Every structure is written in C-alpha cells, then in structure tokens.
Chains A and B, each alone.
Chain A
C-alpha cells in the first residue's frame, strides 16, 4: 500500500519536474522539440497520403473493363480539346517571345512552381489547414502562395524538412487584397478567412466593398488577386461573392462572403509558387534581422 502511494507520488513529482523543465527550458530547446515532433510524425503523414493514393489506385483498378473503356473514351475527348488549346497557347507563347525579342523586353520569372501532393487535411474545420508532401528540402519557403490551376488555395504558414502546412483561403490566418469583377474603378477589397465552429461551414469574408458596387447581372462576381501586395500574382481567382448575404453593410462599406471556387477539401495536388526573391513579409515570418 505504502509502496503504491510512494510510486504514485514519484510519478506526480516526475510530471511536475517535467512540466517545470518544459516551462523553464530555453525557447530554442522547445522549438527544437516541436520541430523534432513534426519530423517524427512526417513519415506517418507521408505514409497516410501514399496509402490514400494506393487505395484510389486499387479502387480504380477494380473497375470493370466497360467502365474503363467509357472513361477512356471521355478522356480522349478531353485530350483532343486540350490538344487544340495547347496548340493555341503555343502560338500565343511564340508570339509573346517574338514581341519580347523585338522590344528587348526581358521579364525574369518571379516564382518557381513546386507541385506537391496533399498528405492530410485537418479533420476539423477549426484550423482550415492542409499538409503537403513537400518541404524545405524541395525549396518551399513560408509565406509562399499555393494555387491549383488559376485558383488560390492558400498560403504556406510553416515549412518542415519534408512537409509544409498551408492555411487555406478560409483560414482565419489568411488575408489578401482583391479586385471584384464588375468594379471598373478597381477598388481594392480585403479577403480574410473567418473562424467557424467545428461543425460550421468554412468561409471567408470580403470586406471594404464600396457602397456603390453592385454585382454584375446574371453571373456570380469573381474575386481576383490584385498582385499589388508582393505575395500573390495578379488575376488569380480567390472565389465568388456569395450573393445571398451581400446586403450586409458595415460602417460605410459593404461586406460579403466568399465562396471558394474549388472544393478545398477534395484537393489531391497543389502548386506552391515559391518567390525567387524573398519579400519583407517572409523575412518577418522567419524572424530575420533587419536594422
């Protein structure tokens, strides 16, 4: 009985010592521990993502020949349409190169694109965050925009050796400037994610909309990036204005909700646009020294 009590007391003491050590430990030690934990679980995340890919592969492989033939036929049609588009774009690219040569206009690329598979996503909608299977080793840096096609997915918030965390457009930690379709004067509006409860629908808010702005008739108004903030390239689609809640007015501006244009929870693959030159915001995120 006494031995048990002593054992229990010893474990309480050990716990208290551990907690005290953790509190008193230098921040570098704590950061190292956190990083070590993330790296420790990274293989598990990779395995999870790959096993999902494998499951998808076997699920597709188990389909009947007829289904595959139909899918193949559909794919051939899509391929044919895309071939035409590729040829058209190739013509435009050549014309672009020719004009640049004539005008001696040489604009260096500003971003390096890193394609990454989605490893996992947070099951709750609290954090609005996904993890991808590329990290520091692949040249990804914090603050880089993440896109799928011409649609913004979010921004890199934390980078580890082989994985990176991405705040989605609907995350409260996401903020960017945007133009609204149909606003001829190109007022900039603010888009930021909204914290929602665990069962709520993820959403983003579009604020500082001019009072005299009205949605173009007959179509949902698209919301584009401005390209002025030095993070996102211009004219990427952030989503659409939700017409239903559009009438909300705050202060002397209007507010609306943003409907993301991609289903952010079914993403399999994204592109990280890593800027070739570090911007001040990135330096702040990394805690760089400046005078």
Chain B
C-alpha cells in the first residue's frame, strides 16, 4: 500500500519548537501590550478621554433669558418682550443650487472668452445670486402691496437693483458668515415684523408680515423660519429717554459658572449673544431685568450641525420693574411737546416733567426730539443712529440738558431776599424801565417799566428790576447759598431706602444730572478764569441768567418744594405705595406764613392774570412762573421758554416744569410757548386725579 504524500506527517525537531516558543512569546507580549493598553485607557485615562470625546462631539448652546417687563404706575406694560421671527437660509441644503449657478456663470465666462477667470469670485457671485433669488421670493410673499395685476403674471414692486438695503444680500455679511459661522444658517430677514429697517410697521402690519410668510411660503426647502425673543416698546418713542434701550452683548452671563454638570468653559459653544441695558431704566435696573440664562447640551454631527439635545436648563425671565410714570400723562406731555415746531416744521427741542409734590415720584418725563427704542432693540442701522445724532435725540433734556432758568429763578431770589430780611412780602419797590448797575443799564422787559411793584405783582408780571434790586441787596453769597439750599447744585439721586422701594436697590436716576450743574459765586468765576465777580453778575443771576445752569427736573423739584413749603424734593422714577414723602436734606423753607402765602399767591396770580394767563385752566386754579432766558445758538441770540408751577393752588398734588429751546428766527416766550404744554399736561392729569380721588373715597369704610 502506497502512502499518499499529502497525508505524511513530518517529525518535529528541537529547532522548530524553539521557533514555536518564539512565536508564542511574540504573541503573548503583543497580547500583554494590548491588554495593558486597554487597562491604561480604560482605568487610568478614561476620564480624560471621556472629557475629550465630549468636547469634540458635544456642544453647549446658551439660551439668553427674557428680560423682565417695565410697567407704568398703573400696571400698563411700557416695555415687554415679543417673539421675533427671522428667515434663514440653510447653506448646506443650497450647495447644489450654488454649484449649478456657478457652472452657469462659468459657462457664460467661457463663452465670453474671458482672458482670466476668477473662480472664487464666480463662486461668491453664484452664492449671492442664489440667496438673492430666495430673498426676492421672501419679499414677494411678505410684501402686502404685491398684487396679481396681470392675470397670473406677477409684478413685484421692487427689483433688486432699486431695492433698499434690506432687500439685497449684503455681500460683506455673507463673507463674514462663511468665514465665522459657516455651519449655521444665513439670515435673510432678521425680523419679519420689521422687515424694512427704514420703515416702522404697526403691530398689526408686523403680525401680517409674519403670518403671510408662515402660511404662504413653502414649508419644504432650504428656507427656515426661526423664533427668539426681542425687546419691544409698545408705545414706540414714548418715554424713550426714561426707558432707554438694550444692546447686544457677547459677555457670558454670570450664572454660566454654575453649570458644573457640563463644564461650559471646556465645551465648544456657539457665539453667545444676549441683551443688556444700554441706557435709561434698562441700564439702571439691568441687574433686576436681566434674568438667568439657560443652556442646552447637544451632540453634534461630523458636519457640525446639532443632533440630539442631551440636557438642558431653562432660562429664567428677569424681574419686573414698576415705574412711577403714568403713561396717559406721559402721552399727553409728549403730544403737547410735539406741537412745538419751527417755521420749517421741524420739532423744537424741548423737555417737560411732572412730579408728585409729596412723594417726588415722576409722573411724566419727556424730552424732544426722541428716538424709537424698538429700532435700537436689535441691529441698529448706522443711518438711524446718525439720524438721532443729527437731531440731538440722544440727549435727555429733562435731566441732562443744562440751561439758565431765566425768570423761573425769581422765586429763589425772592425767598433769599425775604430770608435775609432785605425785602418783605408787602414791600413796594419802584421799578422803572431799567436799573443801573455800575455803568450799565439793566433793562426791564416792559419798555415803560412796572412802577410800584410788590412781591405778588413781581411774580405775576415777572418784573426784572425788582429782582435786580433785591438780588443786589441780598448779595451773591446769599443768593448762591439759597440756590444750593434748593438743591440746584446737587445731582438728583434715588435716595430712598430699600424698604420704601419694595426691595429695589438704591440706584441713580437714569441720566442723573450729576455733572455740569452750575451755581455761580465768586470762587466759581475765578476758577473758570473769568475774572472777579461784580454787581452785574449778581444782577444777572437774580433773574436766572448768566453762569447759572440747571435742568428742567431740578426746576420741577423747586416748584414741588415751594408747594410743600420746604427746600428739597428727591425725585424718583420707581413707584412705591409705601413711600413716606420724606425728602432727604429737605428743611422748612424758612419764610413766615405771610411771606410764603405771598410767594404762592404771586405764582397763582401769574397764571390768573400774569405772564402765564394763556395757560389758565377754568376750574383748576394753579400756581405758575414763566421764564424767558437767552442763550446763544450758532452764535446768534435765541430764547429759552420756561414754565414751572404746581397744581391745584390750594392743596398741591403735582408740580411741573417745561422748557423749550427756541430757534433764532422764532418768537419764543415762556408763557406763550411753554404755557400751552403745561396746560395740556394739567388738563390730562386733572380728570385722572379726580377719578382716582373718587375711587379712593368709594373704597373708604362707611
């Protein structure tokens, strides 16, 4: 039997065994290495590797919180939040369209036999053309003025060539987006409710624009609809200087450090854009209004898109703030100011304030020209910014504007004179057409003078010569001291304790006028290098002219203080039921009953038959004092029109101040120009006060 060669077994040799051991050892060492590596990775490096993996595959999205609301004293929302709907293009889904357009452009270039073809430029052009096409479609749907005029041939109103900026793709923004945020959708329309930055839509029009897109634009496709929160000011420019506005911030919120679970700092995160107060109450009370940010932890795809939400923490809305403003009085104040125009129809710069005599709470505070904070709540167009800058709209004239108070200061001159006993309430002074001080005649505003004038008549007709005489008798030091006693040199601070403001912290008023106030005296004039003080300066100061500079809010406080028979009124923009009416630094005015009665009586007579008679309100006797001071505007003399006062005359409840900056070619006077504004404010306030009083009485136990 023949043994087959393939079944034959060869005997092993010692050399073969050695090789076998070598192979075993090699595999064993390799196995040990693998196991060792595994142990090292799993037991020693596991935490580091897990963290590294999380960092690479996860992303934290920070959610900015909704800011708190701002209410008026009756609970009407002055600042709220609204849903913002934006239209975005998903660039990843548009790749095919970009490519097709690029090839088309390339073919056209080749057909043109271009010498050199810039392919990158062509690709950029292709992107812009495709996105522009989609933007045109969006506008085609949301523009309500589009009508099907020719059967089924639509004619959109604006073509991209003539369209305003918001209807065209901004190439610079697109470049920036592709450079920095390529993984995210590109924004075509930032806010559907306000699609045109240059046009202010009504709330109804804005909602229609949103609704038209939602219902008419195809759901499928590369164009998405996004929602987030945006600050809204329902009354537009009303009380804009008080409320302020918000701006974007990329600073991480403080509470992010608390997110220990996800270690935010080590994670990749999308650029955070929150909101912070930029001015007014939005800035002053930012810590209350801000709220607490939320976050979401996502896994992401290899392309960088969000995939699954793993964990999240909801943002918490900020706290609410209740202002002392009454929106009805505020509206009336701004409406009255809005009627002040120069011959060319431009609004005259002006300010008006109304405060509660007892509590110091500000019921209305308006400054003109103003701005619409809605248009600053998101992206601010440089055009709108420049527009506000040009008109001087940023300045809150009621609290920041510094003006000589003119004849409204005469109440302080009179008080200083009576307190220094250089004049009494019933003293009669001879007041001619001018008063000579040194070698200069200081004029009366009445060419023939007023003859015999006492305190009562002085206030009614606003006699200058009476004040020159009393001012010079009183002296600059006493006049300056009296001004300081009324707080004209003091910044107006919110000095009410936490208890009284219902837990709100001690805070400065928005735009508190703490800089630039001037109560001049000898030292001041020397300090500014204007030489030694003279009697002419005192005469000027006695009628509220010269170096003296104050704000309308200060003068409203002076009126409130006189109404209470005190020296200081601390204004507040925050409403509190528990306010005591205690005004820090305030002392009794220091006049006897007759003197105080005469001072107040003169102010009532000013409205009844004097310089403010144009602002008389039948059935509502009130006290007032007008003023017309001079200032230089573009090198030419112009008038400032003032009126201060309080109402009602017998039991004061509110005090007010109105200031109007006249133009060089206009005829601006205290009573004639500022009087009607005061009248309109009081005519709005009076029925509100009467009704509130009736409601209060009906609640009282019988």
Interface string of A274-291 (1 = CB under 8 A from B): 000111111111101111
Is A208 touching B227 in the complex (CB atoms < 8 A)? yes
Render A228-253 as a binary contact track against B, CB cut-off 8 A, 1 for contact: 11111000000000000000010111
Q: A281-B141, A291-B156 are in contact. Are A253 and B83 (CB under 8 A)?
A: yes
Interface-lining segment among B217-225, B478-486, B546-554, B572-580? B217-225
Once the chains bind, are B211 and A177 in contact (CB under 8 Å)? yes
> How many angstroms between the C-alpha atoms of A153 and B361 in the bound complex?
56
A228 partner, pick from B137, B159, B207, B219, beta carbons under 8 A: B207
Confirm or deny: A207 has a beta carbon within 8 angstroms of a beta carbon on chain B. yes
Decide: B219 and A173 in contact? CB cutoff 8 A: yes
Chain A residue numbers with a CB within 8 Å of B216 are: 143, 229-231, 279-282, 284
Give the Cβ gap from B298 to chain A, nearest Cβ, in Å.
13
Given contacts A211-B317, A279-B216, contact A252 B155 (CB under 8 A): no
Structural contact, A229 and B215, CB atoms closer than 8 A: yes
For the complex, is A192 an interface residue (Cβ under 8 Å from B)?
yes
Smallest beta-carbon distance B75→chain A, Å: 14
A172 at the A/B interface (Cβ < 8 Å)?
yes
Q: Which of A192, A208, A291 contacts B83 (CB 8 A)?
A: A208
Determine the distance from Cα of A173 to Cα of B315 in the docked complex, in whole angstroms.
30
Report A-chain residues with C-beta under 8 Å of the C-beta of B534. none
Given contacts A252-B315, A290-B155, A291-B159, A284 and B137 within 8 Å (CB-CB) = yes
Given contacts A172-B219, A288-B153, contact A188 B207 (CB under 8 A): yes
- Chain A: minimal CB distance from B293 (Å): 11
The reply to whether A283 and B65 contact each other, CB–CB distance below 8 Å, is no
Size of B's binding interface in residues, CB under 8 A: 36
| Nearest CB of B to A246, in Å | 15
Report which residue of B65, B81, B214 has the largest number of chain A beta carbons within 10 angstroms of its beta carbon. Answer: B214
* A187 partner, pick from B63, B83, B229, B314, beta carbons under 8 A: B83
- Contact of A229 (CB < 8 Å), options: B156, B211, B220: B211
Answer yes or no: B146 CB below 8 A from chain A CBs: yes
Closest to A281 in B: B216
| Chain A residues, CB < 8 A from B562 | none
Does the CB pair A188–B81 fall under 8 Å?
Answer: no
Kindly identify which residue among A226, A282, A289 contacts B211, using a CB–CB cutoff of 8 Å: A226
- Chain A residue with the shortest CB-CB distance to B143: A280
Q: Which residue of A lies closest to B217 (CB)?
A: A281
State the majority secondary structure of interface residues on A: loop
Give, as a whole number of angstroms, the nearest-CB distance from B496 to chain A: 29
Most A-side CB within 10 Å, residue of B210, B225, B228: B210
Q: Do A252 and B66 touch across chains, with their CB atoms under 8 A apart?
A: yes
Q: A176 in the interface, Cβ–Cβ < 8 Å?
A: yes
**Chain A proximity of B583: nearest CB distance (Å):** 37
> Which residue of B has the minimal Cβ distance to A228?
B211
Contact of A207 with B154 in the complex, beta carbons under 8 Å = no
Q: Which A residues from 208 to 235 make CB contacts under 8 A with B?
A: 208, 210-211, 226, 228-232
Name which residue of chain B comes closest to A231, CB basis: B215
CB distance from A23 to the nearest CB of B (A): 15
Selected contact of A177 from candidates B215, B220, B227, CB within 8 Å = B215
Q: Is the CB of A253 within 8 A of B140?
A: no
Q: Counting CB contacts under 8 A, is A127 at the interface?
A: no
* Distance in Å: Cβ of B81 to nearest Cβ of chain A: 7
A187 to B84: give the CA distance in the assembly, Å.
12
Q: Is A121 part of the binding interface, using a Cβ–Cβ cutoff of 8 Å? A: no
Q: Cβ of A117 < 8 Å from any Cβ of B?
A: no
Q: Are B153 and A289 in contact (CB under 8 A)?
A: yes
Cβ-defined partner of A280 (8 Å) among B66, B141, B317? B141
Contacts of B152 in A (CB 8 A): 278, 283, 286, 288
In this complex, the interface size class of chain A, counting residues with CB under 8 Å from chain B, is 35 or more
Closest residue of chain A to B136, judged by CB?
A290
Contact A190 B214 (CB under 8 A): yes
- Residues of B153-205 contacting chain A, CB below 8 A: 153-156, 159
Complex Cα distance, B635 from A6, in Å, reads: 104
A230 touches B148 (CB 8 A): no
A71–chain B nearest beta-carbon distance, Å: 41
CB-defined contacts of A252 to chain B, threshold 8 Å: 63, 65-66, 81, 228-229, 315, 317
Which chain B positions have C-beta within 8 A of A284?
Answer: 137, 140-141, 216-218
Distance in angstroms between the alpha carbons of A240 and B218 in the assembled complex: 25
**Nearest opposing residue in chain B for A212, CB measure:** B317
A190-B212 in contact (CB<8A): no
Q: With A252-B63, A277-B148, A284-B141 given, is the CB distance from A175 to B214 under 8 Å?
A: yes
Chain B residues with Cβ below 8 Å from A173 are 219-220
Among A177, A253, A291, the residue within 8 A (CB) of B155 is A291
B210 neighbours in A (Cβ, 8 Å): 177, 188
Which of A176, A187, A208, A253 interacts with B215 by CB under 8 Å?
A176
**Does residue B208 face the partner (Cβ distance < 8 Å to A)?**
yes
- CB contacts under 8 Å to B, within A165-202, are 172-177, 187-188, 190, 192
Distance between Cα atoms of A14 and B106 in the complex (Å): 36
Contact of B154 among A190, A211, A288 (CB under 8 A): A288
Q: Tell me the nearest residue of chain A to B155, going by C-beta.
A: A291
By the criterion CB–CB under 8 Å, are A285 and B227 in contact?
Answer: no
B residues 511-557 in Cβ contact with A at 8 Å = none
In Å, the complex CA distance between A211 and B217 comes to 27
- A279-B216, A283-B148, A284-B140 given; A253·B227 CB < 8 A: yes
Chain A residue contacts of B218, Cβ below 8 A: 281, 284-285
For residue B228, which residue of chain A has the nearest CB? A251
Do A251 and B63 touch (CB < 8 A)? yes
CB distance from A129 to the nearest CB of B (A): 14
- Which chain B positions have C-beta within 8 A of A187? 83
- CB contacts (< 8 Å) of A190 on chain B: these are 214, 225, 227
Report chain A residues within 8 Å CB of B148: 277-279, 283
1/0 contact string of B617-645 vs chain A (CB within 8 Å): 00000000000000000000000000000
CB 8 Å contact bits of B106-118 with A (1 = contact, 0 = none): 0000000000000
Q: How far is the CA of A60 from the CA of B156 in the complex (A)?
A: 55
B153 CB contacts on chain A under 8 angstroms: 288-290
Within 8 A of B (CB), among A18-63: none
Q: Closest residue to A277 on the B side, CB-wise?
A: B148
Q: CA–CA, A289 to B133, complex, Å?
A: 12
CB nearest to A188 among chain B residues: B207
- The docked-state distance in angstroms from the alpha carbon of A172 to that of B218 is 12
Whether B154 and A249, one on each chain, are in contact in the complex, defined by CB atoms closer than 8 angstroms, is no
Residues of B within 8 A of A211 (CB): 66, 317
Interface residues of B in 59-73 (CB under 8 A from A): 63, 65-66
For the complex, give the distance between the alpha carbons of A228 and B216 in Å. 11
Nearest chain B residue, comparing its CB with the CB of A177? B211
* B10 shortest CB reach to chain A, Å: 46
Q: Which residue of B lies closest to A175 (CB)?
A: B219
Q: Which residues of A contact B66 (CB under 8 A)?
A: 211, 252
When C-beta atoms are compared, the residue in chain B nearest to A285 turns out to be B218
Bound CA–CA A226/B137 (angstroms): 23
Considering only residues 125-150 of chain B, those with a C-beta below 8 Å from chain A are: 136-137, 140-141, 146, 148
CA distance A187 to B207 in the complex (A): 9
* Residues of chain B contacted by A290 (CB below 8 angstroms): 136, 140, 153-156
| 8 more A-B residue pairs beyond the given contacts A208-B227, A229-B212, with a C-beta to C-beta distance below 8 A | A187-B83, A188-B210, A229-B208, A252-B317, A280-B216, A281-B216, A284-B140, A288-B153
- Sorted nearest first, the 4 A-B pairs with minimum C-beta distance are A281-B216, A229-B215, A228-B211, A229-B211
User: 15 interchain pairs (CB within 8 A)?
Assistant: A175-B215, A188-B83, A190-B225, A210-B83, A230-B211, A231-B216, A252-B65, A252-B66, A252-B81, A252-B315, A252-B317, A278-B148, A282-B216, A284-B216, A289-B154
Interface residues of A (CB under 8 A from B): 143, 172-177, 187-188, 190, 192, 207-208, 210-211, 226, 228-232, 249, 251-253, 277-286, 288-291
